[in-house]
Amino acid sequence: MTQPLLVKTGLEHHVDKREAALTRAESQLALRAVEHALEAFDAAEQLGADPDQCAGGRWFCHMLLGDFQSAWRESDAIRQRGTPDPARVWNGEPVHGRRVLIRSVHGFGDAVQFLRYAPLLRAMATHVAVQVAPALAELARGVAGIDQVLVWEEETAFDRQLEITELPYLFRSTADTLPSAFPYLQVSASQRAAARRVVPPSHRVRVGVVWTGGTWDSTRSLPLSVMEPILLHFPQVEFWSLQQPADNADWFVLCERMAWGNRAIDAASIAELASYAAEMDLVLTIDSLAAHLAGALARPVWVLLKQEADWRWMLDRSDSPWYPTMRLFRQPSAGDWAGALEAVGTALSRWLEDSRPRSTTPGL
């Protein structure tokens, strides 16, 4: 029996073109072909794609390019359209002379990155409270500009509220105007003393390492075996794991094989992890909480990035305007951690030759 000929209507063709344009935009963004992605998001929006979705894609592109002001214009357009978004809290009203509550509902790394804005906000507001996950409360209490720290489900009176990732938008920051007071995290004397009982002073250079992160993006992580050639090539370096105990099984096997002893920490809180990071001469890490902690503490930190790195690390840069003591090592091609680590090995050789006393920041 002959099947009927299916003919698409003009509307169906239009929908197909719209979806194809949006798919092309997302694909180009995933490949970090940013200029092509911007054109494709514009085309998709003109064909009727969700304007907020297209603006969000362009926002990501602009941030990758370091064009913060264009990103903020996309944020303006999204806010003016008023589509409900649980990640958007600030309604655009001024905060001068008001009681402000900062809510932190994103990841720990995001919170650490944007707590730097508290002193600037406090200079405008009459009171600044921050609501964070319980694990972050102790660390947040040491940040200048914060009058009150709450944990989730605790509330306080406020006139204005923001999600913590909205702070750069509030201040219309650019790569050249980011808050520059470092360190903006503090490690108390008691925390430092406790860390030194586990990581005692040493005449050897100490490097803290992190190779695996949260499960939400496993492509940021790498097997310890891939990092192992670096660890074994520098016997003059005392490498320490800054991973949580649950992630240290392979590390303990390596320590036993190399007779290193127990070079691992057991941080019961993020504040404790910060205290251990502060004891390192250098932190070598994937894109992780440890990277933000070390950067906020103004410790030298080298970050291993996948090729399609997050917006905050921009494109092709080996430095970061967010953290002046940070150096970025990117995969030369997708999945090529060995290539990134080869660059780390070369840089570490040079860094060791030029290393200075621990009280200074080694040249990056």
Q: Give the strand pairing for 160-163 and 205-210.
A: unpaired
User: 313 pLDDT exceeds 60?
Assistant: yes
E strand segments, the chain: 99-103, 127-132, 148-151, 160-163, 205-210, 237-241, 282-286, 301-305, 326-330
Is residue 13's pLDDT more than 70? no
Find out whether the peptide bond into 183 is cis, omega within 30 degrees of 0: yes
Say what the pLDDT of residue 86 is.
75
pLDDT tens digits, 255-273:
999 999 989 999 989 999 9
- pLDDT computed for residue 14 by the predictor: 63
The string of DSSP codes covering 243-272 is S-GGG-HHHHHHHHHHT----B---SSHHH
As a whole number of angstroms, the distance between CA 364 and CA 357 comes to 14
For the residues 279-295, what does the mean pLDDT come to? 97
Quick check: helix, strand or coil at residue 188? Answer: coil
In Å, how far are 12, 49, 276, 288 from 304, measured between CA atoms? 45, 35, 20, 10
pLDDT at 4: 54
* Residue 42: alpha-carbon gap to chain centroid: 28
For residues 317 and 323, what is the distance between their CA atoms, to the nearest angstrom? 13
For residues 348 and 83, give the distance between their C-alpha atoms in angstroms, rounded to a whole number.
48
Is the pLDDT at 6 greater than 80, yes or no?
no
Banded model confidence at residue 362, pLDDT cuts 50, 70, 90: very low
171-219 residue pLDDT tens: 999 999 999 999 999 999 999 999 999 999 889 999 999 999 987 889 9
Residue 300 confidence class, pLDDT cut points 50, 70, 90? very high
Do 123 and 200 form a contact (C-beta atoms < 8 A)?
no
> Taking a C-beta distance cutoff of 8 angstroms, is the pair 332, 318 a contact?
no
Q: Are 277 and 255 in contact (CB under 8 A)?
A: no
Per-residue model confidence as pLDDT tens digits over 107-135: 999 999 999 999 999 999 999 999 999 99
Of 82-86, 93-97, 100-104, 276-280, minimum mean pLDDT range: 82-86
The C-alpha atoms of residue 33 and residue 177 are separated, in whole angstroms, by: 26
Q: Among residues of the chain, what percentage have pLDDT more than 90?
A: 85
For residues 179 and 183, give the distance between their C-alpha atoms in angstroms, rounded to a whole number: 11
pLDDT value of position 3: 56
What are the sequence ranges of the domains in the chain? 11-81, 99-170, 189-352
* Alpha-carbon separation of residue 288 from 112, 119, 241, 316 (angstroms): 11, 24, 14, 19
Q: In the prediction, which pLDDT does 359 show? A: 45
In this prediction, residues 220-243 reach a mean pLDDT of 96
Q: Specify the DSSP class assigned to residue 4.
A: P
Residue 9 has pLDDT above 60, yes or no: no
Q: Is the pLDDT of residue 1 over 60?
A: no
Q: Give dist(CA 224, CA 115) in Å, integer.
A: 31
Instruction: Kindly list the distances between the CA atom of residue 2 and the CA atoms of 5, 9, 202, in Å, as whole numbers in the listed order.
Output: 9, 21, 84
In this prediction, residue 136 carries a pLDDT of: 95
The mean pLDDT value of the chain amounts to 92
DSSP per-residue string spanning 12-27 = HHHHHHHHHHHHHHHH
The arithmetic mean of pLDDT across residues 57-72, rounded, is 98
| Predicted local confidence at residue 245, as pLDDT | 86
pTM strictly above 0.85: yes
**Per-residue pLDDT averaged across 58-66, rounded?**
98
End-to-end CA distance of the chain: 74
What mean pLDDT is predicted for residues 45-69?
97
Are 293 and 185 in contact by the 8 Å Cβ rule? The answer is yes
- The CATH code for residues 11-81 is 1.25.40
Q: Which class does domain 189-352 fall in?
A: alpha beta
What's the average model confidence in pLDDT over 72-98?
Answer: 91
- What's the distance, CA 7 to chain centroid? 49
| Structure tokens that stand for 121 in this block | 């906000």
Q: Is residue 82 scored above 50 in pLDDT?
A: yes
Q: Binning pLDDT at 50, 70 and 90, where does residue 83 land?
A: confident
Indicate the pLDDT class of residue 304, thresholds 50, 70 and 90.
very high
Asked if the domains at 11-81 and 189-352 fall in one CATH topology, the answer is no
Q: How far is CA 312 from the centre of its chain?
A: 7
3 state SS of 327: strand
pLDDT tens per residue across span 137-179:
999 999 999 999 999 889 999 999 999 999 999 999 999 999 9
